[in-house]
Structure 1
Amino acid sequence: MSLQPLLDAPWIIQAHAFAAMAAFVLGVIQIAAPKGTLPHKALGAVWVALMAVIAVSSIFVRPSLNPGLPLAKWFSWIHIFTVMTIFSIALGVRLLLKSGPARKHHARPFIGIFIGGLIIAGALAFLPGRIMHDVLFGG
Structure 2
Amino acid sequence: MQPLLSASPLVQIHAFAALAALGLGAWQLSRPKYGLSHRVRGWLWVGLMAVVALSAFGIRTHGGFSWIHLLAIFVLVQLPVAVLHMRRGRVRAHRNAMVGLFVGALVIAGAFTLLPGRIMHQLVFGG
How high is the TM-score relative to the length of structure 2?
Answer: 0.93
Larger Rg: 1
Q: What runs of 5+ residues in structure 2 fail to find an aligned partner?
A: none
* Overall identity of the aligned pairs, in %: 44
State the partner residue of 1:41.
39
- Please, which of 98, 116, 123 is the counterpart of residue 111 of structure 2? 123
Which structure exhibits the higher relative contact order, with contacts defined as CA atoms closer than 8 Å and separated by 6 or more residues?
Answer: 1
Give the count of matched residue pairs.
Answer: 127
C-alpha distance in structure 1 between counterparts of 2:22 and 2:110, whole Å:
9
C-alpha distance in structure 1 between counterparts of 2:97 and 2:73, whole Å:
13
Q: What runs of 5+ residues in structure 1 fail to find an aligned partner?
A: none
State the Cα RMSD in Å.
1.5
CA offset at residue 83 of structure 1?
A: 1.9
State the partner residue of 1:92.
82
1:7-86 pair list within 5 angstroms: 7-62=5-60, 69=63, 73=64, 75-86=65-76
The superposition leaves residues 36-77 of structure 1 with CA deviations (integer Å, 9 ceiling, x where unpaired) of 121111000000000000000011111xx67xx4xxx2x112
State the partner residue of 1:6.
4
